[in-house]
Amino acid sequence: MAIAKKAVVWGLFAGGGTLTAFIYPALIALFLLIATGNVPAGLQYEQIHTFAASWVGKAVLFIVLFLSLWHAAHRLRVVAHDFGIRKDKLIANAVYLVATLGTLMTAFYLISIS
């Protein structure tokens, strides 16, 4: 017997969970600010573009989005299971595919920002 590959996705899940717990409240709060019409200065096009174009910015954004995607993907797989959907293989393929797509999109957009 050997350690299942789940070890890998679980690692991403745990890392992503910690990250979202720390960061997503602030992220949601920013969207809330935007929704109220008080767009903060840092979220003006110039500033945010500069940030996303920097290597640090790219790295931060990539890690956050990547881990969050995989965190959510793994949890959704469990949620499906908990709701009684017992096609685990299919569900796993679906959620991880979406996470992969999201990851690729993130990478593609980040690379294109210059």
User: Which residues in 10-29 contact another protein (CB under 8 A)?
Assistant: 10-11, 14, 16-18, 20-29
User: Which residues in 68-97 contact another protein (CB under 8 A)?
Assistant: 68-69, 71-72, 75-76, 78-79, 81-84, 86
Spell out the residues 6+ positions from residue 20 whose beta carbon is closer than 8 angstroms to its own.
67, 68, 71, 72
DSSP single-letter state for residue 36: T
How crowded is residue 41: how many other Cβ atoms within 10 Å of its Cβ? 7
DSSP of 54-72, one letter per residue? SHHHHHHHHHHHHHHHHHH
Helix H or strand E encompassing 37: none
Q: Which has the closest alpha carbon to 22: 79, 60, 51?
A: 60
Closest to another protein by CB, 40 vs 93, is 40
Verify binding: residue 33, another protein, rule CB under 8 A.
Answer: yes
Verify binding: residue 56, another protein, rule CB under 8 A.
Answer: no
User: Which residues form the interface with another protein (CB under 8 A)?
Assistant: 1-8, 10-11, 14, 16-18, 20-37, 39-43, 45, 47-49, 51-52, 61, 65, 68-69, 71-72, 75-76, 78-79, 81-84, 86, 98, 102, 105-106, 108-110, 112-113
